[in-house]
A and B are shown apart, each in its own frame.
Chain A
């Protein structure tokens, strides 16, 4: 590697030979309190990732730019992809049926590459409300929704939404009426889930693009509804 850890330590390491006297007057100006960089800990897995990545780059299997490009691609995906699928399903009952029968194929049909993803789309109806979780980790339909929000990965959400979904949904501002069944979908294995929210009332005149704008990330996770405005 090009970095010499010893030299690095000399340049940026703790200033052992430069005692700070915080009790007395400051000999020099601090612009702001020091803040840790993000992420600030070199954990076992971070160190392993860096070691493997650098080795593969050295061996010429891929370049640093390939890695950067893939990260940029992954960061660039967003819920607009899922929204496209939902709006099309709202407008085309035959397409909706294909979405419910085989989500992966229906995504590919409208030009959304879902890779190896096995997509299961679950439909909200007047009688059923669906919500998605991965209690074991953070499985999420990234190809259609982008990166999951932090709360989706939190232990709080993951442990509570399978145990008391009505209370958790209420915390998101979604009060599910007592006459509606709740189905929680725990993505424990090879399937990934997307909720097909109900089409809001009074949207008959909207165009496909206008409908897409109503379909939010959270409505496709199932913690809220798709609404007008």
Chain B
């Protein structure tokens, strides 16, 4: 009780979404798994929906972020502007720090 998970990422950090495919209720869309993006904002912390969906408390709350992805990084053949983006809410346990240099 009262336990908290420390936010690991800050606005502007590069992150990669885990390329994991667990069964059950998951709120990380397939199309961003394994993809790299940038933290757009911190949204606070929320009970983990992957636990809530099965009647468990989902605590301690998971930090939630909005992650900005370039369309070109999601869909290599994307035809629109190179800086068009998709922004998706993702819980911290789905995120890993991306390599700094590339």
Contact = CB atoms under 8 A, between A and B. Distances in A.
Interface of B: 27-29, 31, 43-44, 46, 49, 64, 66, 74-75, 78-81, 83-91
Nearest to B86: A184
* Nearest 3 Cβ contacts at the A-B interface: A189-B89, A184-B86, A186-B88
16 contacts: A163-B31, A163-B75, A164-B78, A164-B80, A166-B80, A181-B81, A183-B87, A185-B86, A186-B89, A188-B27, A188-B89, A189-B27, A189-B90, A190-B43, A190-B89, A191-B64
A80 interface: no
A167 B82 CA distance: 15
A186 B84 contact: no
A189 B75 contact: no
B86 A186 contact: yes
Contact of B80 (A135, A182, A185): A182
B9 to A, nearest CB: 15
Contacts of B89: 186-191
Assign chain A's interface to a size class.
Answer: 20 to 34
Contact of A136 (B29, B66, B90, B91): B29
B49 to A, nearest CB: 7
Contacts of B31: 135, 162-163
Contacts of B29: 135-136, 186, 188
A136 B32 CA distance: 12
A189 B83 contact: no
A162 B86 contact: yes
B46 A183 contact: no
Interface in A125-144: 135-136
Contact of B87 (A135, A163, A165, A186): A186
Contact of A184 (B43, B64, B87, B90): B87
B46 A190 contact: yes
A118 B44 contact: yes
A52 B43 CA distance: 34
Nearest to B66: A191
B26 to A, nearest CB: 9
A181 B79 contact: no
Nearest to A137: B27
Contacts of B27: 136, 188-189
B85 A181 contact: yes
A178 interface: yes
